[in-house]
């Protein structure tokens, strides 16, 4: 007995298509796909080497140029009355050699007559929010009327105070003056260029619009921030509940609480402060950001 198999035309056509695709794949796999994969592997290897070289380069720059010297020097060089001016260096780093270098730099400015306070902690509880909270609890801070905060990679111009404090003096409801950022190393690599584009949009659109319409906008205090608060018994920080480390975005946390308390913010778009954009990963950038 013979078995009779009858295939439908559709099935025969499907088998032919499958066979044709299989044949086409075999034809292009070796001459086209394999070389492309090899090229991709080579490109990835080159990019890995480039990233390694960049990290070594940045580490060398940090060690030799010492970014913290530029930042401390810029802060100590701000134009203001010498007897009404305190520079507080909050060093939350666990790197002892770096701590020693930062402290030595602070002592150099102390010898020049600048009122510099070098503050460290035995722990890193709360990270940046914890450091800011403890820094503002120092006894000498109670006599301060205004507070300005810079991250370790900021270099403000000498006239920064003269261009911002008048806003606070004229409006008792104003609790914050936010300046724009000027990126000194935006063209260093693709990563820094992308960050510049993103942050430019953040300032030019989000904060500019929020400020011009008297609407809420979050101030920048997490990564690289500079802002002012009126410092009196009813100041914004105390009134809003101080810096809290219950979230990883303590700047937005404080901004929301301060806004709910009725404090107003203003963004000054024509005032720019130089900033160094991180071009390596966060763990490496902590070397000069702590």
Which of the two residues, 270 and 188, has the higher pLDDT score? 270
Q: How many CB atoms lie within 10 A of CB 146?
A: 18
Please give the structure tokens belonging to residue 168: 């606070």
CA nearest to 78, candidates 69, 90, 87: 87
Answer whether 119's CB lies under 8 Å from 91's CB.
Answer: yes
Stretch 237-243: mean pLDDT: 55
The span from the CA of 281 to the CA of 290, in Å, is 14
Among the listed residues 91, 157, 251, 253, the single catalytic one is: 251
CB 37 within 8 A of CB 257: no
- pLDDT confidence of 73, banded at 50, 70, 90? very high
119: phi then psi, degrees, rounded to nearest 5: -120, 130
Give this prediction's pTM.
0.66
Per-residue confidence (pLDDT) for residue 88, from 0 to 100: 92
157 is catalytic: no
Residue 23 and residue 77: Cα distance in Å, rounded?
A: 73
Q: Which of 177, 179, 174, 178 has the alpha carbon at shortest distance from 263?
A: 174
Residues 6+ apart with CB under 8 A from 101: 66, 68
C-beta of residue 279 within 8 angstroms of C-beta of residue 54:
yes
Among the ranges given (22-26, 107-111, 116-120), the one the predictor scored with the smallest mean pLDDT: 22-26
How far apart (Å, rounded) are the C-alpha atoms in residues 83 and 89? 18
Residue 137 DSSP class = T
Q: Which of 49, 53, 68 is nearest to 188 (CA)?
A: 53
Output the pLDDT for position 284. Answer: 39
The catalytic residue among 92, 151, 153, 253 is 92
Model pLDDT, residue 46:
87
Residue 112: DSSP 8-state: T
- In tens, the pLDDT along 49-59 reads 877 776 666 65
Lowest mean pLDDT among 49-63, 202-216, 258-272: 49-63
Tell me if residue 153 is catalytic: no
Give the mean model confidence (pLDDT) for residues 146-152: 85
> Is residue 225 predicted with pLDDT exceeding 50?
no
- According to the model, what pLDDT value does residue 290 have? 38
Q: What residues contact 241, with CB distance under 8 A and at least 6 apart?
A: 254, 257
């Amino acid at each position: 007995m013979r078995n009779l198999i009858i295939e439908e035309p559709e099935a025969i056509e499907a088998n032919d298509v499958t066979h044709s695709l299989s044949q086409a794949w075999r034809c292009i796999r070796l001459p086209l796909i394999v070389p492309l994969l090899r090229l991709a592997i080579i490109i990835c290897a080159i990019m890995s080497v480039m990233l390694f070289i960049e990290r070594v380069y940045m580490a060398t720059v940090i060690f030799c140029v010492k970014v913290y010297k530029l930042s401390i020097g810029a802060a100590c060089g701000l134009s203001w009355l010498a007897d009404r001016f305190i520079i507080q260096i909050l060093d939350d780093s666990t790197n002892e050699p770096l701590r020693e270098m930062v402290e030595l730099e602070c002592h150099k400015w102390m010898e020049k007559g600048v009122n510099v306070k070098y503050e460290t902690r035995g722990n890193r509880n709360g990270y940046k929010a914890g450091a800011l909270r403890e820094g503002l609890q120092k006894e000498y801070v109670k006599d301060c009327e205004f507070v300005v905060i810079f991250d370790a990679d900021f270099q403000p111009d000498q006239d920064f105070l003269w261009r911002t404090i008048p806003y606070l003096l004229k409006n008792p409801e104003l609790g914050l003056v936010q300046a724009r950022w000027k990126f000194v190393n935006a063209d260093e690599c693709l990563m820094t260029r992308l960050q510049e584009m993103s942050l430019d949009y953040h300032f030019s659109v989000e904060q500019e619009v929020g400020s011009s319409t008297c609407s809420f906008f979050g101030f920048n205090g997490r990564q690289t921030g500079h802002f002012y608060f009126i410092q009196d018994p009813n100041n914004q920080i105390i009134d809003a509940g101080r810096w809290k480390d219950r979230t990883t975005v303590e700047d937005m946390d404080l901004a929301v609480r301060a806004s709910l308390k009725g404090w107003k913010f203003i963004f000054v778009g024509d005032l720019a402060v130089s900033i160094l954009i991180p071009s390596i990963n966060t763990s490496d950038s902590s070397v000069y950001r702590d």
